[in-house]
C-alpha cells in the first residue's frame, strides 16, 4: 500500500526526533511492503523565519490532503518576544483547528525496563501501567462563554462549561472503539454529583455503553480518579473525559511513566487526517546536540500507523521494537541512570529500526 504522510519537523529538537521516526517508518515500510511518501512542511518558528507566518497556507492545504500528519515540536526563545499572532504556538492551534481535531489520545505506559523511573512505590506499579486518556479537545470550559462583570462584592469573573450531546457522543465513540482494540474497559470521568454538564455527559456515555456489549464500563468522579491514578493505576484501560479534566489527568497519568521523552499523542478529527506528536516541546536546551530521546515521536508514528492508516500489525511491530531496545539496556541521556553510558538520538533510532520485523 502507498500512503502520504505530511511531516512538520518544526523547531529545536523537532528535526532530530522526526528524522528518527521517519527512519523507523521507512524500515516498517520495507518489512511490511508499504511505501510512505513524506512531504516536508513548514510550521512554527522555522516558518516565521522563512515565510513570515507560523502557519503557511500551503502547510494546511497539504496536511488536509495527506493520510496523516507527523509533528515534532515548535517554538523556542528566539520567537518568544514576537506578538501573539506571530508566535509559533499560533501555528499549532491553527493546524489543530484546520484539521478539526476534537479528540486527544495520550497513552501512558510503564515499560518494565523503565520501572525505576516510575515515581510510585514498587508495590503500586507492580501490576503494570498501561492506560490511554481520551480527552475532548474542542469543547467544554476552554471554549465556553467567559467574561467579567461588576458584582456586589467588586469585580466577578466567570467561565462556562457547555457540552452538546453530539460532542459527548463522538468522543465517547472514540473511547469505546479504542477499548475494543485494548483490554475492553472504559472509565468515564466527570463531576456529575455537582455539574449539569457532567450529568448530560454521563447520560450520553451510558447510552453508548448500552450499545457496546462486551466493554466493561464505569463512571468515576474526577476527584476520586485523581486519587485512583496514584493509588492503583493498573485498574485503568481507556479513560474518557472532558477538556478540563483531561488536561489535568493526562499530565498526572503521564508522570508515572518516567521521562517526558517517552510519551506520544494522537489528535483525531472527523474524516480528516489525524495529527501525531510527542507530548513534549522543542527542548531548546538540548537542541542540535544529539541528546533528545526520539521514542515519544517514534511511538507517535506507531499511533499514526494504527489510527490513521489502519496498520495494526505494523504499529505493534514498532512498539515491540521500542520495548526490545529498552530491554536491551539502550538509553538516551534523559533515561540513563548512574553508570549507564547514554546513546545519541540517532543511535536510539537505528537500534529501534533494526529491531522491526
Choosing from 166, 251, 285, 313, which is the catalytic residue?
Answer: 251
Contacts of 240 (CB under 8 A, 6+ apart): 134, 171, 172, 174, 175, 186, 187, 188, 189, 205
Q: Which of 46, 286 has the CB closer to ligand NAD?
A: 286
- Residue pair 276/69 in contact (Cβ under 8 Å)? The answer is yes
Exactly one of 23, 106, 191, 280 binds ligand NAD (CB under 6 A); that residue is 280
User: Is position 217 annotated as part of the catalytic site?
Assistant: no
How many helices (H) and strands (E) would you count in the chain?
12, 12
CB 314 within 8 A of CB 304: no
- Contact between 309 and ligand NAD by CB under 6 A: the answer reads no
Compare residues 237 and 334 and give the one whose CB is closer to ligand NAD: 334
Tally of CB atoms within 10 A around 129: 21
67 catalytic per annotation? no
Strand 68-73 to strand 2-10: parallel, antiparallel, or no bridges (unpaired)?
Answer: parallel
Question: Among the candidate windows 154-162, 202-210, 273-281, 298-306, which touches ligand NAD by CB under 6 A?
Answer: 273-281
Alpha-carbon separation of residue 162 from 13, 137, 151, 159, 178 (angstroms): 37, 13, 23, 10, 25
Under the binding rule (CB under 6 A), the answer on residue 282 touching ligand NAD is yes
Instruction: Give me the residues paired with residue 103 across strands.
Output: 136, 268
In the range 42-101, which residues lie near ligand NAD by CB under 6 A?
73-76, 89, 92
Residue span 1-30 as binding mask against ligand NAD, x where in contact by CB under 6 A, dash where not: ------------x---x-------------
Residues in the chain: 357
Residue 334, interface with ligand NAD (CB under 6 A)? yes
* Minimum gap (Å) between residue 313 Cβ and ligand NAD: 27
Binding to ligand NAD by CB under 6 A, coded x per residue (else -) over 235-264, reads -------------------------xx---
Give how many residues touch ligand NAD by CB under 6 A.
Answer: 22
Least CB distance to ligand NAD at residue 146 (A) = 23
What is d(CA 315, CA 299) in angstroms, rounded to the nearest whole number?
A: 9
Q: Which H helix or E strand runs over 146?
A: strand 146-151
| Main-chain dihedrals φ then ψ at residue 31, nearest 5 degrees | -70, -40
Active site residue 276: no
Active centre residues (catalytic): 142, 191, 223, 247, 251
**Footprint on this chain of ligand NAD (rule: CB under 6 A):** 13, 17, 73-76, 89, 92, 260-261, 277, 280-286, 292-293, 296, 334
Amino acid at each position: 500500500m502507498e500512503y502520504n504522510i505530511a511531516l512538520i519537523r518544526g523547531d529545536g529538537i523537532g528535526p532530530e526526533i522526526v528524522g528518527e521516526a521517519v527512519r523507523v517508518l521507512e524500515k516498517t515500510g520495507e518489512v511490511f511492503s508499504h511505501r510512505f511518501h513524506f512531504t516536508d512542511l513548514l510550521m512554527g518558528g522555522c516558518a516565521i523565519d522563512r515565510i513570515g507566518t507560523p502557519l503557511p497556507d500551503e502547510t494546511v492545504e497539504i496536511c488536509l490532503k495527506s493520510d496523516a500528519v507527523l509533528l515534532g515540536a515548535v517554538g523556542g526563545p528566539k520567537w518568544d518576544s514576537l506578538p501573539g499572532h506571530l508566535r509559533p504556538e499560533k501555528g499549532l492551534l491553527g493546524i489543530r483547528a484546520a484539521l478539526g481535531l476534537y479528540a486527544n489520545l495520550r497513552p501512558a505506559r510503564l515499560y518494565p525496563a523503565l520501572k525505576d523511573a516510575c515515581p510510585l512505590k514498587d508495590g503500586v506499579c507492580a501490576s503494570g501501567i498501561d492506560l490511554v486518556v481520551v480527552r475532548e479537545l474542542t469543547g467544554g470550559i476552554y471554549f465556553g462563554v467567559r467574561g467579567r462583570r461588576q458584582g456586589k462584592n467588586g469585580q466577578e469573573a466567570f467561565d462556562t462549561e457547555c457540552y452538546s450531546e453530539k460532542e459527548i457522543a463522538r468522543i465517547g465513540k472514540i473511547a469505546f472503539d479504542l477499548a475494543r482494540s485494548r483490554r475492553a474497559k472504559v472509565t468515564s470521568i466527570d463531576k456529575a454529583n455537582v455539574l449539569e454538564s457532567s450529568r448530560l455527559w454521563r447520560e450520553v456515555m451510558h447510552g453508548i455503553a448500552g450499545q457496546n456489549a462486551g466493554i466493561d464500563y464505569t463512571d468515576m468522579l474526577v476527584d476520586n480518579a485523581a486519587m485512583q491514578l496514584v493509588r492503583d493505576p493498573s485498574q485503568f484501560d481507556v479513560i474518557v473525559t472532558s477538556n478540563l479534566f483531561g488536561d489535568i489527568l493526562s499530565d498526572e497519568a503521564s508522570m508515572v511513566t518516567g521521562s517526558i521523552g517517552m510519551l506520544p499523542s494522537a489528535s483525531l478529527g472527523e474524516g480528516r487526517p489525524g495529527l501525531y506528536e510527542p507530548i513534549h516541546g522543542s527542548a531548546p536546551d538540548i537542541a542540535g546536540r544529539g541528546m533528545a530521546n526520539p521514542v515519544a515521536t517514534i511511538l507517535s508514528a506507531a499511533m499514526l500507523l494504527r489510527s490513521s492508516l489502519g496498520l495494526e500489525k505494523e504499529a505493534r511491530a514498532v512498539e515491540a521494537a521500542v520495548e526490545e531496545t529498552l530491554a536491551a539496556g539502550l538509553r538516551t541521556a534523559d533515561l540513563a541512570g548512574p553508570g549507564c553510558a547514554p546513546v545519541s538520538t540517532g543511535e536510539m533510532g537505528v537500534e529501534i529500526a533494526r529491531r522491526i520485523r
